[in-house]
């Protein structure tokens, strides 16, 4: 091996020693495979309507967008989907991106831009926010003031401590947390943001489709202030791929001008926008599926707790089984895989040290019998470790 490549092999070897090596999962799907490793919460990814909508969008607008939205990639389909998102989120405007990761990186970096703001902003962030939110801060060269997870009293103390500081303030939080399955109080967050004059940025990646009176996320339950920006993904409950922000018309115009991940990247394909618009329109009619999904999650948590397992503070369709040790977590995942049950083993740095876990993502496609099989098999797997 050349010396140039040695740092990479050394890094991989160190990850393996610590039980943190990542590998792509098997691609074969046995007939009785039970999959809890995905985010297809509403079971839409394989719905025929979405595939038909993608094909129809492709026929009208092409398979690819051919360029950035600012060049050749803007279509009536993108514009009408954004108008629909804005309306349903109670915002003035919306903007779509090719992934949720790109949405966060691009929008947060642009909103925190110290040239535009005239000063380095003060950023208050939940300490368990997603990696793509951290990336946005890193791109802006901004240090975050982390508050304890979901602890709004702690956030308030930090805001109070900086009350006299003239620098612009921002609060960043997920609404449903992707690794813990717990929920932020979005009304309280917006009230704090308004009280302390901070811009609020909410990530609804795991709430879109599952929560809200029409399934459009937890922020659907509040009157969005013009200083609240809400992002979400099209890749989880909507079953497709991409991301969006819902915001004021002013912020949309600003992002179109300043968000690098929007300006310098090809517009999302009409195929994905067509499918995502179809999924978006299906959501309000899925109340029964949402209720059943959350009831099944509740049943799962109760059964896991009955086995003495720690499901953290989950109250949603995401149920962690916190085992602590990464090696034991991987062994449990592999034991389940051996009986054709797929779950994710989530380890540091995705979660804090000592908090390795199996992450169970429920879908409207699962049945009560699937949950029973999972619980039985997990109990057996853990007894065998
Ligand atoms: C909270 C959160 N935000 C953003 C993203 C990125 O979304 P995408 O997978 O669409 O890139 C994820 C993905 O896991 C996420 O969990």
For 13-81, the DSSP string reads HHHHHTT----PPP----TT-EE-SS--TTS-TT-HHHHHHHHHHHHHH-SS--S-TTTT---HHHHHH
Pocket of ligand 1 (CB under 6 A): 99-101, 104, 130, 132, 174, 178, 203, 205, 233, 235, 243
Query: Given this structure, which CATH class describes domain 48-284?
Result: alpha beta
- Interval 99-136: pLDDT, tens: 999 999 999 999 999 999 999 999 999 999 999 999 99
This prediction's pTM: 0.96
3-class SS of residue 343: coil
Instruction: Return the domain boundaries, the chain.
Output: 19-42+286-383, 48-284
pLDDT of residue 20: 86
pLDDT of residue 348: 93
237 CA distance to ligand 1 centroid (A)?
Answer: 11
233 CA distance to ligand 1 centroid (A)?
Answer: 7
- pLDDT bracket for residue 246 (50, 70, 90): very high
- Interval 152-190: pLDDT, tens: 999 999 999 999 999 999 999 999 999 999 999 999 999
pLDDT of residue 272: 98
Say whether pLDDT at 30 is over 90.
no
343 CA distance to ligand 1 centroid (A)?
Answer: 18
Q: In this structure, which residue's CA is closest to atom 10 in ligand 1? A: 100
Q: 173 — phi, psi (to 5°)? A: -155, 145
205 CA distance to ligand 1 centroid (A)?
Answer: 6
Q: What average pLDDT does this structure show over 336-341?
A: 96
Cβ neighbours of residue 374 under 8 Å, at least 6 residues apart? 34, 36, 300, 336, 341, 360
- pLDDT bracket for residue 242 (50, 70, 90): very high
201 CA distance to ligand 1 centroid (A)?
Answer: 14
Which ligand 1 atom is at minimum distance from the Cα of 233?
10
Q: What average pLDDT does this structure show over 280-302?
A: 98
CATH of domain 19-42+286-383: 3.90.1150.10
Say whether pLDDT at 356 is over 90.
yes
The widest CA-to-CA distance across the chain, in whole angstroms, is: 62
Mean model confidence pLDDT for the chain: 97
8 A C-beta contact, residue 108 and residue 201:
yes
For 72-130, the DSSP string reads T---HHHHHHHHHHHHHHT-SEEEEES-HHHHHHHHHHHHT-HHHHSSPPEEEEETT--
- pLDDT bracket for residue 19 (50, 70, 90): confident
- Interval 253-284: pLDDT, tens: 999 999 999 999 999 999 999 999 999 999 99
Q: In this structure, which residue's CA is closest to atom 9 in ligand 1? A: 100
Ligand 1 binding pocket mutation candidate from 132, 133, 265 (most atoms within 8 A of CB): 132
Q: In this structure, which residue's CA is closest to atom 14 in ligand 1? A: 178
Q: How far apart are CA 193 and CA 364, in angstroms?
A: 34
Say whether pLDDT at 1 is over 80.
no
Ligand 1 binding pocket mutation candidate from 129, 218, 235, 361 (most atoms within 8 A of CB): 235
């Amino acid at each position: 091996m050349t010396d140039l490549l040695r740092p990479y092999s050394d890094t991989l070897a160190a990850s393996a020693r610590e039980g943190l090596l990542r590998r792509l999962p098997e691609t074969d799907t046995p007939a009785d495979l039970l999959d809890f490793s995905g985010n297809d919460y509403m079971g839409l990814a394989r719905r025929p309507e979405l595939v038909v909508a993608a094909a129809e969008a492709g026929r009208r607008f092409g398979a690819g967008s051919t360029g950035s939205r600012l060049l050749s990639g803007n279509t009536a389909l993108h514009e009408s989907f954004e108008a629909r998102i804005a309306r349903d989120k109670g915002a003035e405007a919306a903007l779509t991106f090719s992934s949720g990761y790109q949405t966060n990186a691009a929008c947060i970096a642009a909103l925190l831009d110290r040239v535009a703001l005239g000063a380095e902003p003060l950023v208050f962030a939940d300490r368990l926010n997603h990696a793509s939110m951290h990336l946005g801060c890193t791109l802006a060269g901004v240090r975050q003031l982390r508050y304890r997870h979901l602890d709004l009293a702690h956030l308030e103390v930090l805001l109070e401590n900086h009350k006299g500081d003239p620098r612009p303030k921002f609060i960043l939080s997920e609404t449903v947390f992707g690794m813990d399955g717990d929920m932020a109080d979005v009304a309280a967050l917006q009230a704090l943001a308004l009280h302390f004059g901070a811009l609020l940025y909410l990530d609804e990646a795991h709430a879109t489709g599952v929560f809200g009176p029409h399934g459009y996320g937890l922020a659907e339950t509040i009157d969005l202030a013009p200083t609240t920006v809400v992002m979400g993904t099209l890749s989880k409950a909507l079953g497709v791929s991409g991301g969006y922000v819902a915001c004021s018309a002013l912020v949309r115009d600003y992002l179109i001008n300043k968000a690098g991940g929007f300006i310098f990247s090809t517009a999302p394909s009409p195929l994905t926008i067509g499918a995502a618009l179809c999924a978006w329109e299906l959501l309000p009619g899925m109340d029964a599926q949402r209720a059943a999904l959350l009831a099944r999650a509740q049943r799962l948590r109760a059964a896991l707790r009955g086995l003495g397992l720690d499901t953290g503070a989950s109250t949603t369709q995401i149920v962690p089984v916190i085992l602590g040790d990464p090696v034991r977590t991987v062994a449990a995942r592999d034991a389940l895989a051996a009986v054709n049950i797929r779950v994710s083993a989530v380890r540091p740095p995705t979660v804090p040290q000592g908090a390795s876990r199996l992450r169970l993502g429920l879908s409207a496609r699962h049945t009560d019998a699937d949950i029973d099989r999972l619980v039985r098999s997990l109990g057996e797997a853990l007894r065998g470790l």
